[in-house]
Structure 1
Protein backbone atom coordinates (compact mmCIF):
# COMPACT_ATOMS: atom_id res chain seq x y z
CA UNK A 1 0.00 0.00 0.00
CA UNK A 2 1.09 3.57 -0.59
CA UNK A 3 1.07 6.10 2.25
CA UNK A 4 -0.34 9.61 2.18
CA UNK A 5 0.08 12.24 4.87
CA UNK A 6 -3.21 14.03 4.58
CA UNK A 7 -3.53 15.74 7.93
CA UNK A 8 -0.68 18.02 8.87
CA UNK A 9 0.39 19.24 12.29
CA UNK A 10 -2.05 21.78 13.68
CA UNK A 11 -0.54 25.25 13.82
CA UNK A 12 1.13 25.96 17.14
CA UNK A 13 0.66 22.38 18.28
CA UNK A 14 -2.88 23.04 19.49
CA UNK A 15 -5.37 20.22 19.81
CA UNK A 16 -7.65 20.09 16.80
CA UNK A 17 -11.32 20.94 17.19
CA UNK A 18 -13.54 20.21 14.23
CA UNK A 19 -17.19 20.52 13.33
CA UNK A 20 -18.83 17.24 12.43
CA UNK A 21 -22.20 15.65 12.02
CA UNK A 22 -24.24 13.62 14.48
CA UNK A 23 -22.66 10.31 15.49
CA UNK A 24 -24.44 7.00 14.88
CA UNK A 25 -23.88 3.43 16.08
CA UNK A 26 -20.73 1.69 14.83
CA UNK A 27 -21.12 0.14 11.41
CA UNK A 28 -24.20 2.15 10.50
CA UNK A 29 -24.14 3.73 7.06
CA UNK A 30 -24.40 7.42 7.84
CA UNK A 31 -24.70 9.29 4.55
CA UNK A 32 -23.64 6.22 2.61
CA UNK A 33 -20.43 5.53 4.57
CA UNK A 34 -19.80 2.77 7.13
CA UNK A 35 -16.67 1.98 9.18
CA UNK A 36 -15.87 -1.41 10.68
CA UNK A 37 -13.02 -3.69 11.85
CA UNK A 38 -11.34 -0.80 13.65
CA UNK A 39 -8.23 -1.62 15.70
CA UNK A 40 -5.92 1.00 17.19
CA UNK A 41 -2.52 0.10 18.63
CA UNK A 42 -3.49 -3.56 18.64
CA UNK A 43 -5.97 -2.89 21.45
CA UNK A 44 -3.18 -1.92 23.86
CA UNK A 45 -2.93 1.38 25.77
CA UNK A 46 -1.04 4.19 24.07
CA UNK A 47 1.91 4.96 26.36
CA UNK A 48 3.62 8.34 26.01
CA UNK A 49 6.81 9.67 27.61
CA UNK A 50 8.00 13.25 27.92
CA UNK A 51 10.00 13.91 24.74
CA UNK A 52 9.49 11.24 22.09
CA UNK A 53 6.75 11.46 19.49
CA UNK A 54 4.75 8.22 19.55
CA UNK A 55 3.64 6.38 16.41
CA UNK A 56 0.35 4.50 16.75
CA UNK A 57 -0.64 1.93 14.13
CA UNK A 58 -4.30 1.46 13.25
CA UNK A 59 -6.33 -0.59 10.76
CA UNK A 60 -9.95 -0.27 9.67
CA UNK A 61 -12.43 -0.97 6.88
CA UNK A 62 -14.58 1.57 5.08
CA UNK A 63 -17.60 0.73 2.93
CA UNK A 64 -18.93 3.39 0.58
CA UNK A 65 -19.74 3.94 -3.07
CA UNK A 66 -19.36 7.68 -2.66
CA UNK A 67 -16.39 9.62 -3.96
CA UNK A 68 -14.34 11.15 -1.16
CA UNK A 69 -11.81 13.96 -1.21
CA UNK A 70 -9.73 13.37 1.93
CA UNK A 71 -9.15 10.54 4.32
CA UNK A 72 -10.45 8.31 5.66
CA UNK A 73 -8.93 8.19 9.15
CA UNK A 74 -9.55 7.02 12.71
CA UNK A 75 -8.42 8.89 15.83
CA UNK A 76 -9.02 9.32 19.57
CA UNK A 77 -11.44 12.03 20.63
CA UNK A 78 -13.25 13.48 23.63
CA UNK A 79 -16.47 15.41 23.78
CA UNK A 80 -18.93 14.86 20.95
CA UNK A 81 -18.46 14.23 17.27
CA UNK A 82 -20.06 17.63 16.65
CA UNK A 83 -17.29 19.43 18.59
CA UNK A 84 -14.49 17.00 19.39
CA UNK A 85 -11.09 17.46 21.00
CA UNK A 86 -8.31 15.27 19.58
CA UNK A 87 -4.66 14.63 20.47
CA UNK A 88 -2.91 13.64 17.26
CA UNK A 89 -0.37 15.94 15.64
CA UNK A 90 -0.30 14.14 12.29
CA UNK A 91 -1.75 11.13 10.48
CA UNK A 92 -0.36 9.11 7.60
CA UNK A 93 -2.91 6.95 5.83
CA UNK A 94 -2.50 4.16 3.29
CA UNK A 95 -4.17 3.86 -0.06
CA UNK A 96 -7.26 1.68 -0.37
CA UNK A 97 -6.68 -2.06 -0.39
CA UNK A 98 -9.70 -3.20 -2.36
CA UNK A 99 -11.76 -5.95 -0.74
CA UNK A 100 -14.87 -5.74 -2.96
CA UNK A 101 -14.93 -3.06 -5.64
CA UNK A 102 -18.58 -3.65 -6.52
CA UNK A 103 -19.65 -2.93 -2.93
CA UNK A 104 -17.07 -0.19 -2.35
CA UNK A 105 -15.25 -2.04 0.45
CA UNK A 106 -11.66 -1.01 1.21
CA UNK A 107 -9.21 -1.83 4.00
CA UNK A 108 -6.84 0.85 5.27
CA UNK A 109 -3.76 1.17 7.44
CA UNK A 110 -2.90 4.30 9.38
CA UNK A 111 0.01 5.73 11.35
CA UNK A 112 -1.11 8.29 13.91
CA UNK A 113 1.42 10.47 15.76
CA UNK A 114 1.09 11.99 19.24
CA UNK A 115 3.78 14.41 20.44
CA UNK A 116 3.96 15.20 24.19
CA UNK A 117 5.75 18.46 23.33
CA UNK A 118 2.68 19.93 21.62
CA UNK A 119 1.58 23.10 23.39
CA UNK A 120 -1.89 21.91 24.41
CA UNK A 121 -0.85 18.40 25.44
CA UNK A 122 -0.77 17.90 29.22
CA UNK A 123 -1.45 15.59 32.15
CA UNK A 124 -5.20 16.08 31.78
CA UNK A 125 -5.01 14.14 28.50
CA UNK A 126 -4.24 10.86 30.29
CA UNK A 127 -7.18 8.47 30.62
CA UNK A 128 -9.86 6.92 28.45
CA UNK A 129 -10.78 8.34 25.05
CA UNK A 130 -13.25 7.27 22.39
CA UNK A 131 -12.51 6.50 18.73
CA UNK A 132 -13.93 8.36 15.76
CA UNK A 133 -13.74 7.53 12.06
CA UNK A 134 -13.97 10.33 9.51
CA UNK A 135 -13.89 10.91 5.78
CA UNK A 136 -14.28 14.16 3.82
CA UNK A 137 -16.75 14.12 0.95
CA UNK A 138 -17.15 16.50 -2.00
CA UNK A 139 -18.89 19.81 -1.42
CA UNK A 140 -17.16 20.53 1.92
CA UNK A 141 -19.12 17.80 3.70
CA UNK A 142 -17.92 14.94 5.86
CA UNK A 143 -19.00 11.69 7.44
CA UNK A 144 -17.88 11.06 11.01
CA UNK A 145 -18.87 8.15 13.24
CA UNK A 146 -18.19 7.08 16.79
CA UNK A 147 -17.02 3.48 16.25
CA UNK A 148 -17.66 2.41 19.86
CA UNK A 149 -14.00 1.63 20.65
CA UNK A 150 -12.49 3.01 23.89
CA UNK A 151 -8.81 3.97 23.83
CA UNK A 152 -6.57 4.46 26.85
CA UNK A 153 -3.77 7.05 26.71
CA UNK A 154 -1.30 6.65 29.56
CA UNK A 155 1.67 8.44 31.07
CA UNK A 156 4.85 6.36 30.80
CA UNK A 157 6.17 4.86 34.05
CA UNK A 158 9.73 3.97 35.07
CA UNK A 159 10.90 1.72 37.92
CA UNK A 160 14.43 1.18 39.27
CA UNK A 161 15.83 -1.48 41.65
CA UNK A 162 18.86 -2.08 43.85
CA UNK A 163 19.31 -5.18 46.02
CA UNK A 164 22.13 -5.40 48.58
CA UNK A 165 24.40 -6.69 49.91
CA UNK A 166 25.88 -8.53 46.92
CA UNK A 167 26.71 -11.36 47.48
CA UNK A 168 24.79 -12.33 50.61
CA UNK A 169 24.94 -15.28 52.95
CA UNK A 170 21.97 -17.62 52.76
CA UNK A 171 19.35 -16.78 55.37
CA UNK A 172 20.62 -13.24 55.82
CA UNK A 173 18.64 -10.09 55.08
CA UNK A 174 18.55 -8.42 51.69
CA UNK A 175 17.46 -4.79 51.44
CA UNK A 176 15.72 -3.99 48.15
CA UNK A 177 15.22 -0.35 47.21
CA UNK A 178 14.05 1.45 44.10
CA UNK A 179 11.89 4.24 42.80
CA UNK A 180 8.78 4.53 40.68
CA UNK A 181 8.37 7.65 38.54
CA UNK A 182 5.98 8.66 35.77
CA UNK A 183 5.96 11.14 32.93
CA UNK A 184 4.75 14.62 33.73
CA UNK A 185 3.52 16.03 30.43
CA UNK A 186 3.28 19.54 31.87
CA UNK A 187 6.95 19.78 32.88
CA UNK A 188 8.39 17.18 30.45
CA UNK A 189 10.19 15.36 33.26
CA UNK A 190 9.76 12.11 35.17
CA UNK A 191 8.61 12.68 38.74
CA UNK A 192 8.14 10.42 41.78
CA UNK A 193 4.82 8.58 41.83
CA UNK A 194 3.59 8.50 45.42
CA UNK A 195 1.28 6.02 47.11
CA UNK A 196 1.64 3.26 44.53
CA UNK A 197 1.46 -0.42 45.45
CA UNK A 198 4.46 -2.03 43.76
CA UNK A 199 5.30 -5.75 43.72
CA UNK A 200 8.73 -7.06 44.66
CA UNK A 201 9.46 -10.09 42.48
CA UNK A 202 12.16 -12.76 42.52
CA UNK A 203 13.38 -15.15 39.82
CA UNK A 204 15.54 -17.92 41.22
CA UNK A 205 18.62 -18.95 39.24
CA UNK A 206 17.50 -21.41 36.57
CA UNK A 207 13.85 -20.37 36.77
CA UNK A 208 12.00 -19.02 33.73
CA UNK A 209 9.70 -16.53 35.43
CA UNK A 210 9.39 -14.11 38.33
CA UNK A 211 7.23 -14.69 41.40
CA UNK A 212 5.87 -11.95 43.63
CA UNK A 213 7.39 -12.05 47.11
CA UNK A 214 5.68 -9.05 48.70
CA UNK A 215 4.42 -5.55 47.95
CA UNK A 216 5.51 -2.10 49.07
CA UNK A 217 3.99 1.37 48.86
CA UNK A 218 5.97 4.18 47.26
CA UNK A 219 6.83 7.22 49.38
CA UNK A 220 6.04 10.85 48.61
CA UNK A 221 9.06 10.88 46.27
CA UNK A 222 8.25 7.51 44.71
CA UNK A 223 10.90 5.68 46.75
CA UNK A 224 10.55 1.94 47.42
CA UNK A 225 12.17 -0.05 50.23
CA UNK A 226 11.70 -3.45 51.88
CA UNK A 227 13.73 -6.31 53.35
CA UNK A 228 13.60 -10.05 52.63
CA UNK A 229 15.55 -13.17 53.60
CA UNK A 230 17.99 -14.60 51.07
CA UNK A 231 16.90 -18.11 50.12
CA UNK A 232 19.25 -18.64 47.18
CA UNK A 233 20.83 -16.92 44.18
CA UNK A 234 18.54 -15.08 41.79
CA UNK A 235 17.29 -11.82 40.36
CA UNK A 236 15.14 -9.18 42.05
CA UNK A 237 12.91 -6.59 40.42
CA UNK A 238 10.03 -4.23 41.15
CA UNK A 239 6.84 -4.34 39.05
CA UNK A 240 4.10 -1.73 38.90
CA UNK A 241 0.92 -2.97 37.25
CA UNK A 242 -0.33 0.44 36.16
CA UNK A 243 -3.62 2.28 36.55
CA UNK A 244 -6.09 4.22 34.42
CA UNK A 245 -3.71 7.10 33.66
CA UNK A 246 -0.27 5.50 34.11
CA UNK A 247 1.34 2.56 32.33
CA UNK A 248 2.57 -0.70 33.80
CA UNK A 249 6.35 -1.07 34.12
CA UNK A 250 9.01 -3.35 35.56
CA UNK A 251 12.54 -2.48 36.58
CA UNK A 252 15.56 -4.21 35.18
CA UNK A 253 16.62 -7.21 37.25
CA UNK A 254 19.34 -7.06 39.93
CA UNK A 255 21.10 -10.40 40.40
CA UNK A 256 22.25 -11.36 43.91
CA UNK A 257 24.47 -14.38 44.52
CA UNK A 258 24.45 -16.31 47.79
CA UNK A 259 27.42 -17.74 49.64
CA UNK A 260 25.76 -20.86 51.04
CA UNK A 261 27.92 -23.36 49.11
CA UNK A 262 31.17 -21.50 49.74
CA UNK A 263 30.52 -21.28 53.48
CA UNK A 264 29.48 -24.92 53.66
CA UNK A 265 32.71 -26.10 51.97
CA UNK A 266 34.86 -23.95 54.25
CA UNK A 267 33.07 -25.33 57.31
CA UNK A 268 33.76 -28.91 56.17
CA UNK A 269 37.47 -28.15 55.77
CA UNK A 270 37.64 -26.78 59.31
CA UNK A 271 35.99 -29.91 60.68
CA UNK A 272 38.36 -32.18 58.72
CA UNK A 273 41.50 -30.37 59.94
CA UNK A 274 40.26 -30.66 63.53
Structure 2
Protein backbone atom coordinates (compact mmCIF):
# COMPACT_ATOMS: atom_id res chain seq x y z
CA UNK A 1 0.00 0.00 0.00
CA UNK A 2 1.59 3.21 -1.20
CA UNK A 3 0.64 5.64 1.49
CA UNK A 4 0.52 3.65 4.57
CA UNK A 5 2.47 6.43 5.78
CA UNK A 6 2.78 8.63 7.48
CA UNK A 7 2.25 8.28 11.05
CA UNK A 8 5.25 6.13 11.71
CA UNK A 9 7.20 9.33 12.29
CA UNK A 10 4.62 10.42 14.82
CA UNK A 11 5.17 7.41 17.04
CA UNK A 12 8.90 7.85 17.06
CA UNK A 13 8.75 11.58 17.55
CA UNK A 14 6.52 11.37 20.58
CA UNK A 15 9.02 9.18 22.32
CA UNK A 16 12.01 11.38 21.69
CA UNK A 17 12.06 14.92 23.00
CA UNK A 18 10.21 17.96 24.23
CA UNK A 19 8.73 20.86 22.37
CA UNK A 20 11.41 23.52 22.34
CA UNK A 21 12.50 22.73 25.90
CA UNK A 22 15.95 21.99 27.28
CA UNK A 23 17.36 18.55 26.56
CA UNK A 24 17.22 17.62 30.24
CA UNK A 25 13.44 17.84 30.09
CA UNK A 26 13.10 15.96 26.82
CA UNK A 27 12.05 12.62 28.25
CA UNK A 28 9.13 14.15 30.14
CA UNK A 29 7.43 16.27 27.52
CA UNK A 30 5.91 16.21 24.08
CA UNK A 31 8.21 16.97 21.13
CA UNK A 32 8.05 19.84 18.73
CA UNK A 33 4.79 19.32 16.86
CA UNK A 34 6.55 20.15 13.62
CA UNK A 35 8.53 16.94 14.06
CA UNK A 36 5.27 15.00 13.92
CA UNK A 37 4.67 15.85 10.29
CA UNK A 38 5.69 12.84 8.18
CA UNK A 39 6.07 12.44 4.46
CA UNK A 40 3.08 11.38 2.37
CA UNK A 41 4.94 10.22 -0.69
CA UNK A 42 3.45 7.24 -2.52
CA UNK A 43 6.76 5.49 -2.15
CA UNK A 44 6.88 5.82 1.63
CA UNK A 45 6.02 2.52 3.33
CA UNK A 46 3.68 2.54 6.29
CA UNK A 47 5.57 0.90 9.14
CA UNK A 48 3.86 1.96 12.35
CA UNK A 49 0.67 3.35 13.77
CA UNK A 50 -0.13 6.71 15.28
CA UNK A 51 0.00 6.87 19.07
CA UNK A 52 -3.15 6.23 21.03
CA UNK A 53 -4.81 8.92 23.12
CA UNK A 54 -2.26 10.44 25.44
CA UNK A 55 -1.96 13.52 27.65
CA UNK A 56 0.29 15.24 30.11
CA UNK A 57 -1.00 18.00 32.37
CA UNK A 58 -4.09 20.09 31.71
CA UNK A 59 -3.97 20.93 27.99
CA UNK A 60 -7.29 20.11 26.31
CA UNK A 61 -8.59 20.05 22.74
CA UNK A 62 -12.09 21.54 22.88
CA UNK A 63 -13.11 21.69 19.20
CA UNK A 64 -11.95 20.57 15.77
CA UNK A 65 -13.45 21.84 12.51
CA UNK A 66 -12.52 20.26 9.19
CA UNK A 67 -12.95 22.20 5.93
CA UNK A 68 -15.39 24.62 7.60
CA UNK A 69 -17.71 21.70 8.32
CA UNK A 70 -18.07 20.65 4.69
CA UNK A 71 -17.15 17.35 3.08
CA UNK A 72 -13.81 17.21 1.25
CA UNK A 73 -14.51 16.59 -2.42
CA UNK A 74 -11.60 15.48 -4.59
CA UNK A 75 -11.56 15.21 -8.38
CA UNK A 76 -9.21 13.35 -10.70
CA UNK A 77 -6.19 15.63 -11.01
CA UNK A 78 -6.49 18.86 -9.00
CA UNK A 79 -5.19 18.96 -5.44
CA UNK A 80 -7.76 19.88 -2.80
CA UNK A 81 -6.40 22.20 -0.11
CA UNK A 82 -8.44 22.55 3.07
CA UNK A 83 -8.07 23.80 6.62
CA UNK A 84 -8.44 22.01 9.94
CA UNK A 85 -8.99 24.31 12.92
CA UNK A 86 -8.03 22.99 16.35
CA UNK A 87 -9.21 24.92 19.39
CA UNK A 88 -7.35 24.11 22.59
CA UNK A 89 -7.01 25.41 26.15
CA UNK A 90 -4.27 25.44 28.75
CA UNK A 91 -3.99 27.58 31.90
CA UNK A 92 -0.60 28.77 30.66
CA UNK A 93 -1.75 29.36 27.09
CA UNK A 94 -1.52 27.29 23.91
CA UNK A 95 1.69 27.10 21.92
CA UNK A 96 0.81 24.95 18.93
CA UNK A 97 -1.62 22.36 17.56
CA UNK A 98 -1.53 19.58 15.01
CA UNK A 99 -4.16 17.72 13.01
CA UNK A 100 -4.23 15.11 10.30
CA UNK A 101 -6.77 12.77 8.70
CA UNK A 102 -6.26 9.03 8.61
CA UNK A 103 -8.24 6.21 7.02
CA UNK A 104 -8.71 2.63 8.10
CA UNK A 105 -10.33 0.47 10.77
CA UNK A 106 -7.75 1.47 13.39
CA UNK A 107 -4.31 3.04 13.54
CA UNK A 108 -2.60 -0.35 13.36
CA UNK A 109 -4.26 -0.96 10.01
CA UNK A 110 -4.45 2.55 8.54
CA UNK A 111 -4.10 2.69 4.76
CA UNK A 112 -4.06 6.44 4.18
CA UNK A 113 -3.17 9.76 5.77
CA UNK A 114 -3.47 13.44 4.89
CA UNK A 115 -1.04 15.53 6.90
CA UNK A 116 -0.16 19.24 7.12
CA UNK A 117 2.97 21.02 6.10
CA UNK A 118 4.84 22.86 8.83
CA UNK A 119 4.85 26.65 8.89
CA UNK A 120 8.52 26.56 9.83
CA UNK A 121 10.93 24.29 11.68
CA UNK A 122 9.10 24.65 15.00
CA UNK A 123 5.46 25.42 14.22
CA UNK A 124 2.65 23.43 12.64
CA UNK A 125 -0.50 25.48 13.25
CA UNK A 126 -1.13 29.14 12.66
CA UNK A 127 -2.49 30.00 16.10
CA UNK A 128 -4.71 32.88 17.16
CA UNK A 129 -5.33 33.50 20.85
CA UNK A 130 -8.91 34.21 21.88
CA UNK A 131 -7.88 34.60 25.52
CA UNK A 132 -4.86 34.02 27.76
CA UNK A 133 -5.76 30.34 27.98
CA UNK A 134 -7.39 29.51 24.65
CA UNK A 135 -6.22 29.52 21.04
CA UNK A 136 -7.43 28.24 17.70
CA UNK A 137 -4.71 26.88 15.47
CA UNK A 138 -5.28 26.34 11.75
CA UNK A 139 -3.37 23.78 9.73
CA UNK A 140 -3.59 23.33 5.98
CA UNK A 141 -3.88 19.84 4.53
CA UNK A 142 -3.79 18.80 0.88
CA UNK A 143 -5.68 15.84 -0.59
CA UNK A 144 -3.91 14.90 -3.83
CA UNK A 145 -5.53 12.35 -6.19
CA UNK A 146 -2.09 11.62 -7.59
CA UNK A 147 -0.49 11.04 -4.21
CA UNK A 148 -2.29 10.45 -0.91
CA UNK A 149 -5.80 9.93 -2.39
CA UNK A 150 -4.73 7.04 -4.55
CA UNK A 151 -7.48 4.39 -4.19
CA UNK A 152 -11.23 4.57 -4.69
CA UNK A 153 -11.67 2.60 -1.48
CA UNK A 154 -10.38 5.63 0.42
CA UNK A 155 -13.64 7.47 -0.30
CA UNK A 156 -15.89 7.83 2.72
CA UNK A 157 -15.23 8.36 6.41
CA UNK A 158 -11.80 9.40 7.69
CA UNK A 159 -10.82 9.96 11.31
CA UNK A 160 -9.31 13.20 12.56
CA UNK A 161 -6.16 12.96 14.68
CA UNK A 162 -5.59 16.09 16.78
CA UNK A 163 -2.97 17.25 19.25
CA UNK A 164 -2.15 20.45 21.13
CA UNK A 165 0.67 21.62 23.38
CA UNK A 166 0.65 24.36 26.01
CA UNK A 167 3.23 26.99 26.77
CA UNK A 168 4.16 24.94 29.83
CA UNK A 169 4.83 21.89 27.63
CA UNK A 170 1.71 20.04 28.73
CA UNK A 171 0.08 18.29 25.80
CA UNK A 172 -2.86 16.20 24.66
CA UNK A 173 -3.27 13.74 21.79
CA UNK A 174 -6.61 12.51 20.45
CA UNK A 175 -6.20 9.91 17.72
CA UNK A 176 -9.86 9.97 16.60
CA UNK A 177 -11.34 13.23 17.88
CA UNK A 178 -14.04 13.19 15.19
CA UNK A 179 -14.65 12.03 11.63
CA UNK A 180 -14.75 13.75 8.24
CA UNK A 181 -15.83 12.61 4.81
CA UNK A 182 -13.53 12.56 1.77
CA UNK A 183 -15.57 12.08 -1.39
CA UNK A 184 -15.12 11.36 -5.09
CA UNK A 185 -16.25 14.40 -7.10
CA UNK A 186 -19.42 13.90 -9.14
CA UNK A 187 -20.76 15.18 -12.46
CA UNK A 188 -24.28 15.10 -13.90
CA UNK A 189 -25.52 16.04 -17.37
CA UNK A 190 -28.95 16.37 -18.99
CA UNK A 191 -30.36 16.75 -22.49
CA UNK A 192 -34.07 17.08 -23.27
CA UNK A 193 -35.19 16.65 -26.90
CA UNK A 194 -36.65 17.42 -29.32
CA UNK A 195 -36.45 21.19 -28.98
CA UNK A 196 -38.88 22.78 -29.73
CA UNK A 197 -41.68 20.26 -29.24
CA UNK A 198 -45.42 20.29 -29.70
CA UNK A 199 -47.61 20.17 -26.62
CA UNK A 200 -48.58 16.60 -25.73
CA UNK A 201 -45.70 15.06 -27.67
CA UNK A 202 -43.00 12.91 -26.04
CA UNK A 203 -39.81 14.44 -24.69
CA UNK A 204 -36.82 12.15 -24.21
CA UNK A 205 -34.50 13.20 -21.38
CA UNK A 206 -31.03 11.69 -21.34
CA UNK A 207 -27.99 12.30 -19.18
CA UNK A 208 -25.11 10.73 -17.33
CA UNK A 209 -24.03 10.45 -13.69
CA UNK A 210 -20.29 10.05 -13.27
CA UNK A 211 -17.72 10.41 -10.52
CA UNK A 212 -13.96 10.68 -10.14
CA UNK A 213 -11.93 7.51 -10.34
CA UNK A 214 -8.80 8.13 -8.25
CA UNK A 215 -7.03 5.13 -9.76
CA UNK A 216 -7.40 6.03 -13.46
CA UNK A 217 -7.64 9.81 -12.95
CA UNK A 218 -10.74 9.91 -15.15
CA UNK A 219 -14.47 10.21 -14.56
CA UNK A 220 -16.50 7.01 -14.84
CA UNK A 221 -20.22 6.24 -14.77
CA UNK A 222 -21.80 5.79 -11.33
CA UNK A 223 -24.03 2.78 -11.76
CA UNK A 224 -27.35 1.80 -10.22
CA UNK A 225 -27.98 5.12 -8.47
CA UNK A 226 -31.40 6.74 -7.98
CA UNK A 227 -31.59 10.06 -9.81
CA UNK A 228 -34.54 12.44 -9.88
CA UNK A 229 -35.84 14.02 -13.06
CA UNK A 230 -37.00 17.51 -12.13
CA UNK A 231 -38.81 20.30 -13.97
CA UNK A 232 -39.40 24.02 -13.43
CA UNK A 233 -41.65 26.26 -15.44
CA UNK A 234 -40.12 29.05 -17.50
CA UNK A 235 -40.91 31.85 -15.03
CA UNK A 236 -40.43 29.81 -11.84
CA UNK A 237 -37.42 29.40 -9.59
CA UNK A 238 -38.54 26.09 -8.12
CA UNK A 239 -37.86 22.60 -9.43
CA UNK A 240 -40.34 19.80 -8.72
CA UNK A 241 -39.63 16.09 -9.07
CA UNK A 242 -41.31 14.40 -12.01
CA UNK A 243 -40.01 10.86 -11.44
CA UNK A 244 -37.01 8.92 -10.13
CA UNK A 245 -34.97 6.57 -12.31
CA UNK A 246 -31.71 4.67 -11.86
CA UNK A 247 -28.46 5.08 -13.75
CA UNK A 248 -27.54 2.08 -15.88
CA UNK A 249 -24.32 0.04 -15.91
CA UNK A 250 -22.37 2.93 -17.45
CA UNK A 251 -24.04 5.74 -15.52
CA UNK A 252 -26.38 6.68 -18.38
CA UNK A 253 -29.86 8.08 -17.69
CA UNK A 254 -32.86 7.98 -20.01
CA UNK A 255 -36.60 8.50 -19.58
CA UNK A 256 -39.57 10.12 -21.34
CA UNK A 257 -42.25 12.65 -20.37
CA UNK A 258 -45.09 14.45 -22.16
CA UNK A 259 -44.58 18.06 -23.21
CA UNK A 260 -46.88 20.49 -21.41
CA UNK A 261 -45.39 23.98 -20.93
CA UNK A 262 -42.13 25.81 -21.54
CA UNK A 263 -39.53 25.05 -18.91
CA UNK A 264 -36.31 23.46 -17.78
CA UNK A 265 -35.52 19.81 -17.16
CA UNK A 266 -32.66 18.66 -14.98
CA UNK A 267 -31.44 15.54 -13.24
CA UNK A 268 -30.70 15.69 -9.51
CA UNK A 269 -28.57 13.23 -7.52
CA UNK A 270 -28.85 13.24 -3.71
CA UNK A 271 -25.35 11.84 -3.15
CA UNK A 272 -23.95 8.97 -1.08
CA UNK A 273 -21.38 8.67 1.69
CA UNK A 274 -18.61 8.45 -0.91
CA UNK A 275 -19.95 10.84 -3.57
CA UNK A 276 -21.46 14.34 -3.17
CA UNK A 277 -24.88 15.49 -4.32
CA UNK A 278 -24.99 17.16 -7.71
CA UNK A 279 -27.55 18.83 -9.98
CA UNK A 280 -27.33 19.07 -13.74
CA UNK A 281 -27.71 22.47 -15.33
CA UNK A 282 -31.30 22.82 -16.50
CA UNK A 283 -32.04 22.24 -20.20
CA UNK A 284 -34.78 24.49 -21.61
CA UNK A 285 -37.55 23.05 -23.77
CA UNK A 286 -39.78 25.31 -25.86
CA UNK A 287 -43.30 23.82 -26.07
CA UNK A 288 -45.33 25.02 -29.03
TM-score class, shorter-chain normalisation, is 0.7 to 0.9
Deviation at 1:157, TM superposition (A): 1.0
Q: Is the 8 A contact 2:205 2:255 kept in 1?
A: yes
**d(CA) in 1 for partners of 2:244 and 2:271?**
14
Deviation at 1:82, TM superposition (A): 6.9
**d(CA) in 1 for partners of 2:63 and 2:136?**
9
Instruction: Name the CA shift for 1:246/1:215 in 2 (closer, same or farther; >3 Å).
Output: same
**Residue number in structure 2 paired with 1:10:** 40
Instruction: Name the CA shift for 1:193/1:161 in 2 (closer, same or farther; >3 Å).
Output: same
Deviation at 1:84, TM superposition (A): 5.0
**d(CA) in 1 for partners of 2:92 and 2:237?**
55
**Residue number in structure 1 paired with 2:83:** 57
Q: Is the 8 A contact 1:35 1:147 kept in 2?
A: no
**Residue number in structure 2 paired with 1:190:** 219
Instruction: Name the CA shift for 1:50/1:16 in 2 (closer, same or farther; >3 Å).
Output: farther
**Residue number in structure 1 paired with 2:52:** 22
Instruction: Name the CA shift for 1:120/1:234 in 2 (closer, same or farther; >3 Å).
Output: closer
- Partner SS for 1:96: strand
**Residue number in structure 2 paired with 1:181:** 210
**d(CA) in 1 for partners of 2:65 and 2:47?**
23
Gaps of 5+ in 1: 1-5, 260-274
Aligned-residue CA RMSD (Å): 3.1
Instruction: Name the CA shift for 1:133/1:86 in 2 (closer, same or farther; >3 Å).
Output: farther
**d(CA) in 2 for partners of 1:177 and 1:32?**
60
**d(CA) in 1 for partners of 2:165 and 2:46?**
16
**Residue number in structure 2 paired with 1:43:** 69
**Residue number in structure 2 paired with 1:95:** 126
**Residue number in structure 2 paired with 1:269:** none
Q: Is the 8 A contact 1:47 1:155 kept in 2?
A: yes
Further displaced range: 108-117 or 191-200: 108-117
TM-score, scaled to structure 2: 0.75
Give the structure with higher Rg (CA).
1
TM-score, scaled to structure 1: 0.78
Instruction: Name the CA shift for 1:166/1:88 in 2 (closer, same or farther; >3 Å).
Output: same
Instruction: Name the CA shift for 1:14/1:214 in 2 (closer, same or farther; >3 Å).
Output: farther
Note if 1:74 corresponds to 2:74.
no
Q: Is the 8 A contact 2:59 2:165 kept in 1?
A: no
**d(CA) in 2 for partners of 1:68 and 1:107?**
9
1:42-80 superposed Cα distances (whole Å, 9 cap, x missing partner): 2222111110100122322112357988x5122222344
Instruction: Name the CA shift for 1:16/1:156 in 2 (closer, same or farther; >3 Å).
Output: farther
Match of 1:238 among 225, 247, 267: 267
Give the paired residue count: 247
Note if 1:124 corresponds to 2:149.
no
Note if 1:219 corresponds to 2:244.
no
